[in-house]
Copies of this chain bind each other. A is one copy, B any other.
């Protein structure tokens, strides 16, 4: 069994991005600039955004954090989105989700100029990815593909089972795994809460991507020997063993599943760190106008 070290790979990708930013600087080019809108003080969101800002600094990007209180109106957020759309210095920006319930998330996402939508959530980017056109691919699916690529995990013609059909992980990663690319070209099965044959499907899978958000869902008796398992789960489970009072728990019962695997990602330190570097990569692409002019 080989552990897929998302932390090490993400550090490597960050170094590559930092080197490219150095070159851009040396050539007198424009430093990529990522802006983030954060509404309220949700603990998870605060942590994620802090990581994103810190990562921007690490690779030499310019970053801007724009804060609103919980009681900000939808119109205030839409106005800020519009302002960032028109700010030539901002190459890409994100609105950290979830938003407070009185704000329509979909409306906000669709208000973002797709050419600055480095989260890849705008329908144009989703559609372009589905068709196989250049676009901003959302961060988690892109991070998973990068891990498979850097570990030279063979996907062509393999059977990949994706657990979960969410818009931000399950559906897009299924799309990427079946695409005419490398990694890609896999036979892809998408299972979800209604799947009656989920265990049977998993037992035949060469690659399992678990993105249900159900802690320790995937057990040892659901995985065939030699499989590759990618764990996207990051549920906060109460714990007396940590200072914070919780621990991040994946969708995979690691102690049972890991011994059977050829490759497996841990939680934390697997897919998680890759998510942020995917966002950085998109921002670099936005800065260089490589996807859209």
The interface of chain A, by Cβ under 8 A from chain B, is: 106, 122-128, 130-133, 156-159, 165, 167, 171, 174-175, 178, 185-192, 194-198, 200-201, 204
Interchain CB contact under 8 A, A187 and B192: yes
Interchain CB contact under 8 A, A187 and B178: no
Please measure, in the bound complex, the distance between the C-alpha atom of A130 and the C-alpha atom of B168, giving whole angstroms.
11
Please measure, in the bound complex, the distance between the C-alpha atom of A130 and the C-alpha atom of B6, giving whole angstroms.
28
Interface pairs (12), CB distance under 8 Å: A123-B131, A124-B124, A124-B127, A126-B126, A127-B128, A130-B171, A156-B194, A158-B196, A178-B190, A187-B194, A187-B195, A189-B189
Given A131-B126, A188-B189, A188-B190: A178 in contact with B197 (beta carbons within 8 A): no
Please measure, in the bound complex, the distance between the C-alpha atom of A200 and the C-alpha atom of B204, giving whole angstroms.
11
Most buried by B among A127, A188, A195: A127
Please measure, in the bound complex, the distance between the C-alpha atom of A122 and the C-alpha atom of B159, giving whole angstroms.
30
Please measure, in the bound complex, the distance between the C-alpha atom of A187 and the C-alpha atom of B186, giving whole angstroms.
16
Interchain CB contact under 8 A, A190 and B187: yes
Of B123, B188, B191, B200, which is within 8 A of A133 by CB? B123
* Contact partners of A194 in chain B: CB under 8 A: 156-157, 185-187
Interface secondary structure of A, over-half rule: mixed
Task: Give the Cβ gap from A167 to chain B, nearest Cβ, in Å.
Answer: 5
* Contact partners of A106 in chain B: CB under 8 A: 133
* Contact partners of A131 in chain B: CB under 8 A: 123, 126, 167
Of B130, B201, B204, which is within 8 A of A187 by CB? B201
Task: Give the Cβ gap from A192 to chain B, nearest Cβ, in Å.
Answer: 7
Q: Which residue of B lies closest to A165 (CB)?
A: B178
Q: Which residue of B lies closest to A172 (CB)?
A: B130
Interchain CB contact under 8 A, B132 and A127: no
Please measure, in the bound complex, the distance between the C-alpha atom of A56 and the C-alpha atom of B190, giving whole angstroms.
38
* Contact partners of A128 in chain B: CB under 8 A: 123, 126-127
Please measure, in the bound complex, the distance between the C-alpha atom of A113 and the C-alpha atom of B131, giving whole angstroms.
18
Task: Give the Cβ gap from A197 to chain B, nearest Cβ, in Å.
Answer: 6
Task: Give the Cβ gap from A164 to chain B, nearest Cβ, in Å.
Answer: 11
Q: Which residue of B lies closest to A155 (CB)?
A: B194
Please measure, in the bound complex, the distance between the C-alpha atom of A254 and the C-alpha atom of B187, giving whole angstroms.
25
* Contact partners of A165 in chain B: CB under 8 A: 178
Task: Give the Cβ gap from A97 to chain B, nearest Cβ, in Å.
Answer: 14
Please measure, in the bound complex, the distance between the C-alpha atom of A197 and the C-alpha atom of B187, giving whole angstroms.
8
Please measure, in the bound complex, the distance between the C-alpha atom of A291 and the C-alpha atom of B119, giving whole angstroms.
25
Please measure, in the bound complex, the distance between the C-alpha atom of A132 and the C-alpha atom of B168, giving whole angstroms.
12
Please measure, in the bound complex, the distance between the C-alpha atom of A190 and the C-alpha atom of B174, giving whole angstroms.
9
Please measure, in the bound complex, the distance between the C-alpha atom of A156 and the C-alpha atom of B192, giving whole angstroms.
11
Please measure, in the bound complex, the distance between the C-alpha atom of A122 and the C-alpha atom of B114, giving whole angstroms.
14
* Contact partners of A126 in chain B: CB under 8 A: 126-128, 130-131
* Contact partners of A159 in chain B: CB under 8 A: 196-197, 201
